[in-house]
């Protein structure tokens, strides 16, 4: 192939744009998008040709190949950015993979909220303007025993709103062991500063006593703050002050006590063999004045921040201008209401809420799943080594950080490519399977699979192991 001619073998943007296969896409993909993708695909091809122009083995693509490449480029460019993935990590509340999955009953609620007018801020009885915050009130009160309720965009917003309303230029007394950072950017001291309050740290990293709080109380004290150390755990010589004692101290000095619980929990998980985590009801029963928690961690609902507690503080928060900026939309309200109603019957909640269900799967169920996947893979794929191993799932989402749930994983070791290559192909392939490389094997923990995932995984493994390079086709 003569060097000079090589670039001429590529068609022009206009020629390609008029190709019948591309013209057929015009129905579903806007022309500007197609043109941009064609241009980018041609640029990539030109670069490839230039890079390989001195390579004696290089054979330029024929027209069909070029059209195929351009087509797949257009389709890839036009894919939605938010994609379904298969969670093979065993981390149930996986913050990077969208945290909690909603229960099936939410589907209808969401469709109604999205496609019908509703009484979001309309009081049907009086025919007057209503409040969006009333919809969740009675259910949350029933589940937690709270006097009053406010739901905002997420728990970070809930903490900020509570601090901004209740500290008001004064000090929040907090233990040095609870000055935590959650999810990279949410740091308790920074949030307090942003909300216009001042930090008064007491105690040490490992030990804080009730007298540490008491000695720090002064004219400037706005609140006593307790933050659940969700995502880490100090072991050894430690001491923290229980919410009950802190609440008593607060009452004695007429200072409100706020607790950021992190994960919102309505069910005592120790009944199901997990570590005990305080429920929202237990925390309020200790006398804590205001409790904040997430909607999409252990609670298993949509992203939301829920604030419960004494009426006078919640009422003050409702009047705070920040509330308007942090408000929840109708989709969240409807999804949260449908999720919360399940908790009125604990058995139903445990069965219907995916987060609860995944956390309480038995080892027998998990072992069965692993066996089914293993056998199906054994039948359908050849060029890899397969096995079923014991593994440990995590709760995730900064909840129950020490809990390790015994589970089963199917492991795959490809024969014709590296583990890293295989992992990348699984991740980028049609189904976006997210697994992990552990002890020189590719590992899929079956705990976080959804219905239908196993068939897709078999297909994904088949596709990943297939050598789809051009060289092998020739
Ligand atoms: C997760 C968490 C938050 C933040 O909650 P989001 O719902 O993610 O905004 C705040 N505090 C604690 C203790 C948490 O665990």
Determine the pLDDT at residue 184: 67
Determine the pLDDT at residue 5: 67
The SS3 call for residue 208 is coil
Residue 230: how many CB atoms within 10 A of its CB?
22
Output the average pLDDT for the chain.
92
Per-residue pLDDT tens over the stretch 358-373: 999 999 999 999 999 9
The Cα–Cα gap between 168 and 125 comes to: 37
Structure tokens at 201: 């740290």
Say yes or no: CB of residue 305 within 6 Å of ligand 1: yes
- Cα distances (Å, whole numbers) of residue 467 to 227, 272, 317, 378, 470: 52, 46, 60, 19, 9
Determine the pLDDT at residue 231: 65
Higher-scoring residue by pLDDT: 347, 6: 347
Ligand 1: distance of its center to the CA of 295 in Å? 10
pLDDT category, 120, cuts 50, 70, 90? very high
Determine the pLDDT at residue 8: 78
Ligand 1: distance of its center to the CA of 401 in Å? 14
Ligand 1: distance of its center to the CA of 264 in Å? 10
Lowest mean pLDDT among 50-64, 83-97, 386-400, 429-443: 50-64
* Continuous H helices in 56-204: 63-77, 106-115, 137-144, 155-166, 188-194
pLDDT category, 26, cuts 50, 70, 90? confident
Per-residue pLDDT tens over the stretch 238-294: 778 899 999 999 999 999 999 999 999 999 999 999 989 999 999 999 999 999 999
Lowest mean pLDDT among 26-30, 68-72, 182-186, 195-199: 182-186
The Cα–Cα gap between 206 and 25 comes to: 63
Q: With a cut of 70, say whether residue 3 has pLDDT above it.
A: no
Strands 384-396 and 405-414: antiparallel
Lowest mean pLDDT among 58-67, 164-173, 244-253, 313-322: 58-67
Q: CA torsion sign, 134 to 138 to 139 to 142?
A: positive
Mutate to test the pocket of ligand 1, among 189, 291, 294, 332 (most ligand atoms within 8 A of CB): 294
165 exposed, middle or buried (CB, 10 Å; 0-12, 13-18, 19+)?
A: buried
Q: Report the 3 state secondary structure along 292-349.
A: EEECCCCCCCCCCEEEEECHHHHHHHHHCCHHHHCECCHHHHHHHHHHHHHCCCHHHH
Give the closest residue (by CA) to ligand 1 atom 11: 262
pLDDT category, 1, cuts 50, 70, 90? very low
Say yes or no: CB of residue 226 within 6 Å of ligand 1: no
- The ligand 1 atom at the shortest distance from the C-alpha of residue 295 is 7
pLDDT category, 469, cuts 50, 70, 90? very low
Higher-scoring residue by pLDDT: 63, 378: 378
Per-residue pLDDT tens over the stretch 198-254: 999 999 888 899 999 999 999 999 999 999 886 667 777 777 889 999 999 999 999
Model-wide pTM > 0.85: yes
Ligand 1: distance of its center to the CA of 226 in Å? 13
Determine the pLDDT at residue 467: 66
Give the closest residue (by CA) to ligand 1 atom 8: 155
Bridge partners of 445?
Answer: 409
Per-residue pLDDT tens over the stretch 127-173: 999 999 999 999 999 999 999 999 999 999 999 999 999 998 999 99
Say yes or no: CB of residue 398 within 6 Å of ligand 1: yes
On whether the CB atoms of residues 295 and 106 are closer than 8 A, the answer is no
Question: In which order are the strands placed within the sheet that holds 171-175?
Answer: 148-152, 305-309, 290-294, 257-263, 221-227, 171-175, 198-202
Give the closest residue (by CA) to ligand 1 atom 13: 262
* Angle formed at CA 231 by CA 225 and CA 234, multiple of 5 degrees: 80
The Cα–Cα gap between 17 and 23 comes to: 7
């Amino acid at each position: 192939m003569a060097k000079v001619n090589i670039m001429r073998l590529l068609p022009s943007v206009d020629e390609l744009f008029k190709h019948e296969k591309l013209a057929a896409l015009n129905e579903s993909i806007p022309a500007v998008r197609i043109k941009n993708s064609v241009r980018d695909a041609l640029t990539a091809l030109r670069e490839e040709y230039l890079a390989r122009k001195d390579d004696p083995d290089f054979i330029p693509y024929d027209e069909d190949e070029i059209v195929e490449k351009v087509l797949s480029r257009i389709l890839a460019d036009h894919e939605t950015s938010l994609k379904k993935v298969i969670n093979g990590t065993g981390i149930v509340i996986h913050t990077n993979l969208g945290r909690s999955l909603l229960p099936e009953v939410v589907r209808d609620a969401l469709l109604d909220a999205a496609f019908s007018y509703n009484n979001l801020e309309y009081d049907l009885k009086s025919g007057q303007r209503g409040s969006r915050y009333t919809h969740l009130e009675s259910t949350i009160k029933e589940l937690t025993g709270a006097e009053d309720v406010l739901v905002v965009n997420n728990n970070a917003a809930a903490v900020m709103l509570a601090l901004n309303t209740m500290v008001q230029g004064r000090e929040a007394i907090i233990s040095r062991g609870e000055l935590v950072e959650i999810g990279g950017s949410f740091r308790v001291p920074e949030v307090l500063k942003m909300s216009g309050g001042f930090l008064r740290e007491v105690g040490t990293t490992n030990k804080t006593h009730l007298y540490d709080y008491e000695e720090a109380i002064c004219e400037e004290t706005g609140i006593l703050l307790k933050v659940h150390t969700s995502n880490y755990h100090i072991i050894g010589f430690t001491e923290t002050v229980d919410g009950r004692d802190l609440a008593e101290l607060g009452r004695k000095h007429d200072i409100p006590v706020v607790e950021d619980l992190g994960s919102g929990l309505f069910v005592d998980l120790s009944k199901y063999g997990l570590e005990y985590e305080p429920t929202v009801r237990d925390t309020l029963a200790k006398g804590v004045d205001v409790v904040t928690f997430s909607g999409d961690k252990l609670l298993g609902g949509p992203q939301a921040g829920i604030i419960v507690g004494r009426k006078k503080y919640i009422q003050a928060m409702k009047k705070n201008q920040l509330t308007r900026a942090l408000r929840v939309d109708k989709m969240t309200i409807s999804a949260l209401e449908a999720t919360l109603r399940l908790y009125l019957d604990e058995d139903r909640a445990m069965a219907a809420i995916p987060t609860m269900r995944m956390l309480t799967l038995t080892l027998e169920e998990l072992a069965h799943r692993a066996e089914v996947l293993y056998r199906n893979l054994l039948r359908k794929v050849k060029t890899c080594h397969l096995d079923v191993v014991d593994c440990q799932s995590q709760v995730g989402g900064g909840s129950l950080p020490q809990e390790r749930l015994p589970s089963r994983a199917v492991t795959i070791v490809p024969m014709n490519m590296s583990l890293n290559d295989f992992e990348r192909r699984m991740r980028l392939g049609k189904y976006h399977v997210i697994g992990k490389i552990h002890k020189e094997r590719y590992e899929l923990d079956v705990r976080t699979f959804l219905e239908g995932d196993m068939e897709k995984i078999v297909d994904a493994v088949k596709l990943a192991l297939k050598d789809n390079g051009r060289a092998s086709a020739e």
